[in-house]
């Protein structure tokens, strides 16, 4: 009998303690679920931060690549411009040399033009009288043109 009353006592004690044990398990389970939910929220927040950082990194990488392409384009453009500038400088130098030679040529051309005009006058004087009046007028026009400043050397 002692055994059965001990068993009954244990059973009674088990029945009395069961709700407390279940409540303790429920509290433990609830706490575990809350911990799990909190961990999931933290993981989601971490993932959002990771996604944001990933997006920022991709945007920065894209900007970096674009900047590199632009820098390369600008380097090539600058190289082309430098070549053009050198060419223009050579052209300027050539034009300056030509201008110097033009001044020299102009100084030499006037005496030559005067010699040509004198030769032409002698030729007309010694030539067969063919349109003498018109030829003299043309010679006078040429002589008058020689003294005019508004007539270029090439026209003279």
The C-alpha angle 120, 121, 127, rounded to 5 degrees, equals 85
> pLDDT tens digits for 96-111?
999 888 888 878 888 8
> pLDDT tens digits for 53-99?
999 999 999 999 999 999 999 999 999 999 999 999 999 999 999 98
The whole-angstrom separation of Cα 98 and Cα 112 is 20
Q: What is the pTM of this model?
A: 0.44
Both tokens of 2, joined, read: 């002692």
Q: Are 110 and 149 in contact (CB under 8 A)?
A: no
The whole-angstrom separation of Cα 35 and Cα 48 is 20
């Amino acid at each position: 009998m002692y055994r059965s009353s001990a068993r009954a006592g244990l059973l009674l004690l088990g029945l009395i303690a069961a709700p407390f044990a279940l409540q303790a398990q429920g509290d433990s389970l609830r706490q575990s679920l809350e911990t799990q939910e909190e961990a999931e929220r933290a993981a989601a927040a971490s993932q959002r931060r990771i996604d944001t950082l990933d997006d920022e990194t991709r945007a920065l990488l894209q900007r970096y690549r674009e900047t590199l392409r632009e820098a390369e384009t600008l380097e090539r453009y600058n190289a082309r411009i430098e070549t053009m500038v050198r060419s223009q400088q050579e052209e300027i130098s050539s034009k300056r040399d030509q201008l110097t030679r033009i001044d020299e040529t102009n100084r030499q051309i006037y005496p030559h033009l005067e010699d040509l005009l004198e030769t032409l006058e002698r030729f007309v004087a010694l030539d067969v009288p063919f349109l003498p009046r018109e030829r003299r007028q043309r010679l006078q026009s040429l002589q008058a043109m020689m003294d005019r400043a508004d007539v270029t050397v090439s026209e003279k």
